[in-house]
Chains A and B, each alone.
Chain A
Amino acid sequence: MTTMADQETDAPVRKTISVNASPERAFRVFTAEFDSWWPRSHHIGKAPMKRAIIEGAVGGRCYSEQTDGTDCDWGTVLVWEPPRRVVLAWQITDKWQYEPDLAKSSEVEIRFTPEPGGLTRVDLEHRHLHRHGAGAATVRTAIDSPGGWGSLLDLFRTYVEQSK
């Protein structure tokens, strides 16, 4: 949690963990077996999620199949370099809808680096959060209350620009 007034508001989210598995296995579980570990509560469909899929190729779809038979796209594979690196576009708007425009989407990069003892370091970076615009402001659930949302967005933009 940041408290500095001059913090970089668009700082990426970075996470690093070490897993007891080879990069090959870690990469495969993260992508091909995405459905086996992704939290079931995290999806943007209206019905419960049945299956979560990352297609293994550049341009591949990231989507979930819902129990009502619909598919919910939420991303695209931008970089596919098994078993070391994958970059996904995070195409979810502040209204929890699919965002077709990549310029309005953030990116998640995941790198898998071998470590001594058969471990793999997994570095995750979720960046360009400001591209979500309204979603990056305080209130994530967009509400078109007069004077509320738009003005907050304006404030946020100014704030980001000033703190660069």
Chain B
Amino acid sequence: MNAYQEKQLDALGDATRRAILGRLLKGPLPVGELARDFPISRPAISQHLRVLKDAHLVMDRAAGTRRVYALNPEAFDSLREFFDHVWTQALAAFKKKVEERRPKERR
């Protein structure tokens, strides 16, 4: 497990942060609206969002004077990336082998 994955696990080890992610599944939200849904202060929400952002689970963008948070789709996509990487490597090795000038035939 790499440091990046560890961060994600840590980030998910908190009920409020999981609830925030659950809320963001319904769509992007500004901090203010997110804070209204939770019985904790806005700075506390911001702190949780910072942890989620550091773990690459959410991303934010500015919308006027507000910051809008959304799930980071890439966080939910890494198995695909992993296989992409595996097959790129494997097919390069395959191509090299199949194009060998004098292939050593196997029985």
CB distance from B44 to the nearest CB of A (A): 18
Is A62's CB within 8 Å of the partner chain B?
no
The binding surface of chain B is classed by DSSP as helix
| Number of B interface residues in the complex (CB < 8 A) | 43
Contact call A13/B90, Cβ cutoff below 8 A? no
Is A103's CB within 8 Å of the partner chain B?
no
Checking A1, A3, A126, A158 against B87 with a beta-carbon cut-off of 8 angstroms, the contacting residue is A126
Mark out the residues of chain A between 126 and 164 whose CB falls within 8 Å of any chain B CB in the assembled complex: 126, 129, 132, 135-141, 143, 145-149, 151-152, 155-156, 158-160, 162
Given A138-B8, A139-B9: A29 and B98 interface contact (C-beta under 8 Å): yes
Contact call A148/B9, Cβ cutoff below 8 A? yes
Is A116's CB within 8 Å of the partner chain B?
no
Is A33's CB within 8 Å of the partner chain B?
yes
Contacts of B99 in A (CB 8 A): 19-21
In Å, the complex CA distance between A141 and B78 comes to 12
Give the interface centre of B28, B83, B94 by most chain A CB atoms within 10 Å: B94
CB distance from A54 to the nearest CB of B (A): 12
Contact call B78/A25, Cβ cutoff below 8 A? no
Contact call B91/A15, Cβ cutoff below 8 A? yes
Is B18's CB within 8 Å of the partner chain A?
yes
CB-nearest residue of chain B to A18: B95
Contacts of B76 in A (CB 8 A): 9, 137-138, 155-156, 159-160
Contacts of B8 in A (CB 8 A): 138-139, 152
Contact call B98/A138, Cβ cutoff below 8 A? no
Is A7's CB within 8 Å of the partner chain B?
yes
CB-nearest residue of chain A to B106: A33
Is A26's CB within 8 Å of the partner chain B?
yes
Mark out the residues of chain A between 12 and 47 whose CB falls within 8 Å of any chain B CB in the assembled complex: 13, 15, 17, 19-21, 25-26, 29-30, 32-33, 36-39, 42
- The list of the 10 closest CB pairs from A to B, nearest first, reads A37-B97, A29-B98, A13-B83, A37-B93, A136-B79, A148-B9, A21-B98, A37-B94, A148-B12, A141-B1
Given A32-B106, A135-B79, A138-B75, 13 more pairs with CB closer than 8 A: A2-B74, A5-B28, A29-B97, A37-B93, A39-B93, A42-B90, A124-B87, A129-B80, A132-B79, A139-B9, A141-B5, A145-B9, A155-B25
